[in-house]
Amino acid sequence: MQLKGRVAIVTGAATGIGLATAKLFLERGASVVICDLNREKLDAAVAELSKLGAARGYIADVAERAQCDGLAEKVRSEFGRIDILVNNAGITADAQFYKMTEDQWDRVLNVNLKGCFNMAKAVILQMMEQKYGKIVHCSSVSAYNGNFGQTNYAASKAAIMGMTRVMGKELGKHGINVNAVAPGSIMTDMYAAVPEEAKQKKLNAIPMRRYGDPEDAAKLIAFLASDDAAYITAQTITIDGGFN
């Protein structure tokens, strides 16, 4: 019960890594609030999570600052504190650079990068007042490898790494740890949509010869959100079976 009594927000958590993280947080004693944009999937996730503990779900677009502030206020009103933020929400809109539209660029950067900014801003004063907080951003090995057709996605995930370094340095004196995880090929709905030929090529290049499960990433996130990682901050930790 490493997270007993903690209150966590996990964004983009109706499926995949976010949902697996919310489950693990609940199993370890935390109260969990998740957000997503898909009402049907969100309701199904909350029904599943509620069997494990105190779980709430809200529709919120992390690209919209007002909605992030509103979500944080609901959490403060109900639970009285916010201890953990996992910025997991992310999207893709792939295209080769010469074909990529401004809309594709803006949508991905607004969700993946600005979404982290918006949610962190929404919770940071509460964490500073508490003199305690754990923020975990979700980056990607795409930031290192530059996956074909993902200029926008790779740029957003690389920027998260830089954001993490600075936030960790600035907020350490307030008792707040800020770290990031960089997952590789984790078998989520998003990754399942990758063409089979490309997935097989990637699999052959992974030393552990398997894709990661969402639970693999969730365990790393849960570690960084716990006091076992009390002296770790401003870091990005890769979890990719040795691919990078």
pLDDT at position 197 is 84
Under 8 Å between Cβ of 197 and 219? no
> What's the gap between Cα 33 and its chain centre?
13
Looking at residue 188, what is its pLDDT? 82
**pLDDT value at residue 193:** 73
- Give the active site residue among 58, 132, 144, 153: 153
Size of the chain in residues:
244
3-state DSSP of the chain: CCCCCCEEEEECCCCHHHHHHHHHHHHCCCEEEEEECCHHHHHHHHHHHCCCCCEEEEECCCCCHHHHHHHHHHHHHHHCCCCEEEECCCCCCCECCCCCCHHHHHHHHHHHHHHHHHHHHHHHHHHHHHCCEEEEEECCCHHHHCCCCEHHHHHHHHHHHHHHHHHHHHHHHHCEEEEEEEECCECCHHHHCCCHHHHHHHHHCCCCCCCECHHHHHHHHHHHCCHHHCCCCCCEEEECCCCC
CA distance 7 to 70: 16
- pTM value > 0.85: yes
Find tokens 């907020």 and name the residue.
171
**How many CB atoms within 10 Å of residue 41?**
16
pLDDT at residue 1, as a whole number: 83
| Domains parsed from the chain with CATH numbers | 7-186+214-239 (3.40.50.720)
Q: Measured between alpha carbons, how far apart are the two ends of the chain, in Å?
A: 32
Sign of the dihedral defined by the CA atoms of residues 21, 191, 87, 159, in that order: positive
Q: Quote the pLDDT of residue 96.
A: 98
CB atoms within 10 A of CB 163: 19
pLDDT at residue 195, as a whole number = 79
CA-CA distance, 236 to 239, in Å (whole number)?
Answer: 10
Residue 153 a catalytic site member? yes
Structure tokens, 104: 């594709």
Q: What is the mean pLDDT of each run of 10 residues along the chain (244 residues)?
A: 96 97 98 98 98 98 98 98 98 97 98 98 98 98 93 98 98 98 88 78 89 96 98 97 90
Q: How far apart are CA 171 and CA 189, in angstroms?
A: 34
